[in-house]
């Protein structure tokens, strides 16, 4: 029997977490948003408020709908605050050890029938579930970035995930107005297994001097009809996230074709992580982005 989901706890109020909170609240779910500090929670709430205000400005949402959606989102400074929810989604940084620590700390705060999910874009759902007290109620729910705009959600079962958990997760995603695709629990699932090696290859193309940043992005935008070039997309995703996904692929599948490009490693080591740090393959500090190579 599937579990009825009415309330959603979200751990991580960053780009992914606040996007998930926004779509859940807009779809009528009660949301509790948690992060390591109240400042981060408040920043997440401010982002949601701004995003909803833009929708009102464009005529895509009524002002009273915006107000009602915001009222559905509560700050949850403690893990006990999210523990009372029907489904808790972890949307922390893409680091397996950090995610496992969160789940170990969270489990004692959960009500017995609560479901757990990770928004990981690449890490084994089976391994994450193994540190919890409810692997049969654990599932991967991978939202795409930016969450409010992207239609797809990947659902990934761990080896222990039971049918009611999967059925409830699918019903929840459908209620958000998103489309579900189901992936097996292999490194990076479907979207990132295909997308990130393409981005990595674009970085190799730059590294080997085949083309400049501008040449590569123009070629893929106009030659392959991609909405944005792969290096522009890498900056949008975050170069640290791109590197961590490539490392998961390389370690998990032991195939040299997934070796992260040394230039990607160098940019991450420099702290040039893309848009979020104002520099990556483009420099975002001026009026318009300028290629850095």
User: What residues act catalytically?
Assistant: 121, 142, 154, 192
Paired strand residues for 27: none
* Chain centroid to CA 168: 20
Torsion of CA 201, 202, 204, 209, to 10 degrees: 150
What residues pair up with 181 in beta bridges, in sequence order? 154
Length in residues, the chain: 293
Place of tokens 């699918």: 170
> What 3 state SS string does 40-106 have?
HHHHHHHHHHHHHHHHHHCCCCCHHHHHHHHHCEEECCCHHHHHCCCEEEECCCCCHHHHHHHHHHH
H or E element that contains 250: helix 239-253
From residue 293, give the alpha-carbon distance in Å to each of 61, 113, 180: 41, 52, 38
CA torsion, points 57, 60, 65, 69, in degrees to nearest 10? Answer: -90
Rounded Cα–Cα distance for residues 33 and 79 (Å) = 10
Q: Between 262-270 and 191-207, two packed helices, what is the crossing angle to 10 degrees?
A: 90
Q: Roughly what angle, to the nearest 10 degrees, separates helices 191-207 and 239-253?
A: 110
Strand 290-291 vs strand 282-283: parallel, antiparallel, or unpaired?
antiparallel
């Amino acid at each position: 029997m599937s579990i009825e989901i009415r309330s959603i706890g979200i751990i991580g109020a960053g780009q992914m977490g606040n996007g998930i909170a926004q779509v859940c609240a807009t779809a009528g779910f009660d949301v509790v948003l948690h992060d390591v500090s109240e400042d981060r929670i408040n920043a997440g709430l401010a982002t949601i408020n701004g995003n909803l205000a833009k929708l009102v400005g464009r005529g895509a949402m009524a002002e009273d709908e915006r107000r009602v959606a915001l009222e559905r989102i509560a700050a949850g400074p403690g893990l006990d605050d999210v523990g009372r929810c029907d489904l808790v989604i972890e949307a922390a940084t893409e680091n397996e050890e950090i995610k496992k620590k969160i789940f170990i700390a969270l489990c004692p705060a959960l009500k017995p029938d609560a479901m757990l999910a990770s928004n990981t874009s690449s890490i084994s759902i089976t391994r994450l579930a193994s540190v919890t007290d409810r692997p049969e109620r654990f599932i991967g729910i991978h939202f795409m970035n930016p969450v409010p705009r992207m239609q797809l959600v990947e659902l990934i079962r761990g080896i222990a995930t039971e049918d009611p958990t999967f059925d409830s997760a699918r019903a929840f995603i459908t209620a958000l107005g998103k489309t579900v695709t189901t992936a097996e629990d292999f490194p990076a699932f479907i979207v990132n297994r295909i997308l990130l090696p393409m981005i990595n290859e674009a970085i190799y193309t730059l590294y080997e001097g085949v083309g400049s940043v501008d040449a590569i992005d123009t070629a893929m935008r106009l030659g392959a009809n991609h909405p944005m070039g792969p290096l522009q997309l890498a900056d949008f995703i975050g170069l640290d996230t791109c590197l961590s996904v490539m490392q998961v692929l390389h370690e998990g599948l032991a195939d040299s074709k997934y070796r992260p490009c040394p230039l990607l490693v160098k940019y991450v080591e420099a702290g040039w992580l893309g848009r979020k740090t104002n520099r990556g393959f483009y420099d975002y500090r001026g009026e318009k982005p300028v290629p850095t190579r």
